[in-house]
Structure 1
Amino acid sequence: MPNPNQTYVLILGGEFPLRERVLAGALRASEGLPTLTLAKSRTSNTIKFFDGYIDADVSDPDNVLAAVRRYEHEHQATPAAVIPMNDFTVRSALAISTHYDTRHNSEQTVNQCRDKLLMKRVLQQAGLPVPRHGAFATLEELKVLAKDIGLPLVIKPRELAGSVGVIKVTDASRLESAFQQCIADIKALGGAYKTPEDVFLAEEYIPAQQEVSVEVINQGDLHRVVAVTDKYLGPEPYFVEVGHSVPSVHTGNASLVDLAERACAALGIQYGMAHFEARITPAGDIRIIEVGARTGGDAIMDLVERSYGVNPYQLHVASYLGRPIALPEHLDSRGLSAIAFLKAPEGIIQSVALPKSIPDIIVNMQVTGKPLDISEKPVSWRAREGSLEFFWKGRAPEAGFNEHLQTAQQFASNMFRVSPRA
């Protein structure tokens, strides 16, 4: 634990699954400063790797700030930097950073990156390509937008993530049922992320040859792309991410790189990694879907590190600490990294049979599904039973790549025995 009068690095969201490499990055960037995280439960598998933890609900800014102030009183230690790792932590990080006067993105930037309507407006005003869109709170307002924007369209909550409540609607007769499902998906979270549950966004559906994310490091006026990630989605009308791979087949797309860096500048992101998502149409046009002022999830940062030898978490923490961002002019790929998620059939998991051996290309396997768990319909990130991470040394990205998805599907079919729900 920190000694009296010490400072420490505080990681918000560092205990979340598939973000474990944040600790290695933080230790390198901070040059030995104690590194703490927040957790509202001592049952977390990862908090024991940090130098300590503060007991608080990471999504509740007032609660988090009060907990950090109690920690200061008890240990005479204050944060040198407060680092948000996902969308649900940026407002808490802002509250603590403002109180302790540490480096942070502005309140305006945080709000613009959390509220998808504000985000789209800022990007549109900057002349950047976004889908046609509009806000709604009622079914009648959604019906008006459907006429204005046209079908198909996509509806989503304005402040959630992980594909929760994101649904494509192709027929006007389906608007009401899709809206009701969107609401039900939000309610199923039980208010866990302290986000508004009654404001929504409708936007033009963009047919995509490929969906990508772009990982951008920001420090003041510096906005530089570190990597481009190919994203793989499950079947529509949902937009569940079933896998990712780095490098992307679009890594050399100069227009994509330019748009990602300009979007970060337009939103005023001055610190840390940003996670930019876009769809690329069959004609090659790019439409920005969203930009998060935080690191990408789903172990994307780990994929970047395996392929390029650069830990994005280290860059992220260094930026908030005001340390120099040291990146070579050009990053050479060492091979193809990928992740794919394990999905059991819908029903009640009766047994889980782990494989006796796994091929060398699988560098990590995490199985979260266990007997008596309910395997849900895959409508968001919550309906997963684990993950497989891959690395192929010297392999280049290729169009149509899906080997990681096929392998994960085969593993899941052999691992999980499921019975129907009553």
Structure 2
Amino acid sequence: MTTTADRPRAFILTGAFWVICRSPRYLTELARRDLSILVVTPEGFRDRAEAVRAQEDGPASLIHDVAYVSGSLDMEASFNSGVVAAVAAWRERYRIEGAYAVGETLVEPTGIIADALGLPFPGLRATRVCRSKYLQRWYLHRHSPASLIVPPSERDGLDPGALDYPAVLKPATRHSSSGVVSADEPADIARELAAYPDHETLLIEQKVTGPEYSVETLSQGGRRVFASVTAKTTNDTRSRAFVELSHTVGGADPANGALLDANADVLDRLGFEDGITHSEWRLDPTGTPRLMEIAARTPGDGLLPLYELATGRPLEDQIIRIALGEPAEYPRPRRVARQVYLEHPHGVLEDVRLDWPGVTASWIGETDLWPRTAPGAADDPPTLRAVFVHREKGATLGPLHSSDDRAVAFLIDAPDTDGLDEIEARVRSAIDIVVS
């Protein structure tokens, strides 16, 4: 009879399959430890995942098994049963030593399985609250903008004329800015309500129009190992959407101290134990940080490569160490790094032309497997590190309503912000997005 000690050692990664493979360092770091890599991902990624796994020399070849689970982003806890069922089967075959939610979708069920297996994880309160925007307003009221929770049963009785404007309307459980729109008058709310499924809980809250930031934090045993502020820009100044257009890691900003203090208070309120958080903030007219939302998983977009460019070291290694209960540490940024998403013309994508010596655009739309962007030396001049095309040739490019609508991005770094701004302007003028 096979005992637990005789079973292969394993680690579970959960989330959208393309998010897991976007950062292959997770896979290589786990494989280096001779851990069997088990992946739980939504059913909708099955065809794409199996095609990537079929590539013998790709990072996905390191994955031992994949469980596909069903659920819906606009329905709370809908993935929980599928994840628990999949891991229950694995528990009979493997000795599971760690679990980590790489993407937003499966944060809550990953917390449930980690709690039952006695693994390092953020905590049940943290994983539940971080997946629900209305619970964030309830638990984290002190740092939140004024808001109104609208359960499905109360939507028909809502009086848009009784609300304060400008306001923001957002669904409670989605991510990537999906369904988030601004409203300047009651007619905007009345019109947008019809676009949400009848079962979806909504939030209507005060629109905070100040500059936007995020704070990335590594925590271990309830102690903050590392925390850093990322400055952001979005398209909401000229659109009703809230799509992120740039991220800057390592820059000095007068608001950094207040943001780090507010973020620490939020983590204490959540009882956050082990893992990484990505909290998003805006400054209100008084300069006070107001929490937009907080996630108990890896930051999205290009923030992981940005942190490696800024510090010279990857974040993924330390995330895995925390999930396995190994001591973690991470250095302060030594450079300033930025990712820029370009606003594109509308039409059918024909080509992306780059006039830059030594750099070519990487078309990653079909697999979303990002080539590694190796960091340079601390005293390197301002440098263009990569240009990524996130859509396939022939794709239709339209307005930016959510993160999935973006098409072209580039990564740059420099010793200081002035040098970063200068090279950003030059790179923008060197890229031509051709549509028909």
Q: The TM-score by the shorter chain falls in which range?
A: 0.7 to 0.9
User: CA-atom RMSD, angstroms?
Assistant: 3.2
TM-superposed deviation, 1:23: 2.2
Question: Matched residues in 1 for 2:316 and 2:70: separation?
Answer: 19
Q: 1:101 to 1:221 in 2, by over 3 A?
A: closer
Residue type matched to 1:174 in 2?
D
Within the alignment, does 1:207 sit opposite 2:209 as a pair? yes
TM-score (norm 2): 0.79
Question: Matched residues in 1 for 2:193 and 2:426: separation?
Answer: 32
TM-superposed deviation, 1:78: 3.2
1:66 equivalent among 57, 71, 85: 85
TM-superposed deviation, 1:167: 0.8
Contact 1:133 1:204 in 2 (8 A): yes
Q: 1:263 to 1:337 in 2, by over 3 A?
A: same
Q: 1:156 to 1:30 in 2, by over 3 A?
A: farther
Contact 1:344 1:375 in 2 (8 A): yes
1:322 equivalent among 314, 319, 325: 325
Contact 1:369 1:385 in 2 (8 A): yes
Q: Which runs of 4+ in 1 moved over 6 A?
A: none
Question: Matched residues in 1 for 2:84 and 2:226: separation?
Answer: 32
TM-superposed deviation, 1:211: 0.4
Contact 1:38 1:55 in 2 (8 A): yes
Question: Matched residues in 1 for 2:214 and 2:406: separation?
Answer: 21
Q: 1:356 to 1:32 in 2, by over 3 A?
A: farther
Residue type matched to 2:220 in 1?
Q
TM-superposed deviation, 1:227: 1.6
Q: 1:28 to 1:12 in 2, by over 3 A?
A: closer
For residues 62-102 of structure 1, give each alpha carbon's deviation from its aligned partner in whole angstroms, at most 9, with x where no partner exists. 323333444455xx323211100122121231243244332
Question: Matched residues in 1 for 2:140 and 2:165: separation?
Answer: 23
User: Which residue does 1:264 correspond to in 2?
Assistant: 267
Q: Secondary structure at the match of 1:11?
A: strand
Counterparts of 1:8-407 in structure 2, within 5 Å, are 8-13=10-15, 15-17=17-19, 20-21=22-23, 23-24=25-26, 27=29, 31-39=33-41, 40=46, 41-44=49-52, 48=60, 50-57=62-69, 60-71=79-90, 76-124=93-141, 128-136=142-150, 137=152, 139-143=155-159, 147-148=162-163, 150-181=164-195, 183=196, 198-208=200-210, 210-234=211-235, 235-250=238-253, 253-281=256-284, 283-327=286-330, 331=332, 333-349=333-349, 351-355=350-354, 357=356, 361-392=383-414, 394-396=415-417, 401=421, 404=424, 407=427
Residue type matched to 1:285 in 2?
T
User: Which residue does 2:378 correspond to in 1?
Assistant: none
Question: Matched residues in 2 for 1:36 and 1:417: separation?
Answer: 40
Gaps of 5+ in 1: 188-195
Question: Matched residues in 1 for 2:203 and 2:158: separation?
Answer: 9
TM-superposed deviation, 1:324: 1.2
Question: Matched residues in 1 for 2:303 and 2:70: separation?
Answer: 21
Residue type matched to 2:66 in 1?
I
Q: 1:170 to 1:325 in 2, by over 3 A?
A: same
Residue type matched to 2:190 in 1?
E
TM-superposed deviation, 1:197: 5.0
Contact 1:227 1:251 in 2 (8 A): no
Contact 2:282 2:290 in 1 (8 A): yes
Residue type matched to 2:217 in 1?
V
Residue type matched to 1:166 in 2?
V
Q: Secondary structure at the match of 1:364?
A: strand
For residues 321-362 of structure 1, give each alpha carbon's deviation from its aligned partner in whole angstroms, at most 9, with x where no partner exists. 11112245xx2x33221112245423333x224436556633
Contact 2:112 2:124 in 1 (8 A): no
Q: How many residues align?
A: 388
295-304 or 154-163, which deviates more: 295-304
Q: 1:290 to 1:92 in 2, by over 3 A?
A: same
Question: Matched residues in 2 for 1:300 and 1:266: separation?
Answer: 25
Residue type matched to 2:416 in 1?
R
Question: Matched residues in 1 for 2:251 and 2:199: separation?
Answer: 34
Question: Matched residues in 1 for 2:254 and 2:321: separation?
Answer: 24
Q: 1:100 to 1:61 in 2, by over 3 A?
A: same
Question: Matched residues in 2 for 1:61 and 1:173: separation?
Answer: 37
Question: Matched residues in 1 for 2:155 and 2:429: separation?
Answer: 37
Residue type matched to 2:62 in 1?
F
TM-score (norm 1): 0.81
Q: Secondary structure at the match of 1:390?
A: strand
Question: Matched residues in 2 for 1:147 and 1:378: separation?
Answer: 30
